Structure 1
């Protein structure tokens, strides 16, 4: 799995490439934890190039989401497709994680939530 990081409108976007499974979910956890430690509480995770994700990958995303909520932050996921979308649906995670069609929609949702707060 490769991890690509960008910042769009001051929001960290983490784009994953390759399978996310038990063997590499810790890498994803570490990058999400590092964002939280540096007080980056609004994060977008792009799964456009992820053909497969097992329950450990989904668990990592859900855990990060709950950690971020402690700081009134949020985790948005985008480009969920194929077998990853099936796993989200089968596990019921689509009702817990906020899933968007693309990065722009996820970023706009974060910005809209910021505007509601202020």
Structure 2
């Protein structure tokens, strides 16, 4: 995978605390030169509204830096929140990390 791609693993609940940590991780990755950020949600178990807010802020941060943000391996509950809020159209979502890697490689 490209060295300008950074994978960040989300785990447990994506809420105000972990959402803030994700925001710091993404900011650090951008500061280190990452152009593409993949948030892998394979180990995430839940997301609340503050977690959704954090993802939206992360998307804004990445776009302002001229980068690309993608999510993969989202669970049904996260997918449902994204769909109910019409945020699913804002995020690039992949079924798993392999699908993301194939897309980036092409």
- Alignment TM-score > 0.5, same fold: yes
Alignment map for 1:1-118 (pairs within 5 Å)? 8-10=1-3, 11-112=5-106
TM-score by length of 1: 0.78
What are the ranges of 5 or more consecutive residues in structure 2 without an aligned counterpart? none
Q: How many residues align?
A: 105
CA-CA distance at 1:29 after TM superposition:
0.9
- Return closer, same or farther for 1:108/1:61 CA change in 2, 3 Å cut-off: farther
TM-score by length of 2: 0.86
RMSD over equivalenced CA pairs, Å? 1.6
What are the ranges of 5 or more consecutive residues in structure 1 without an aligned counterpart? 1-7, 113-118
CA-CA distance at 1:88 after TM superposition:
1.0
Greater RCO (CA < 8 Å, at least 6 residues apart): 2
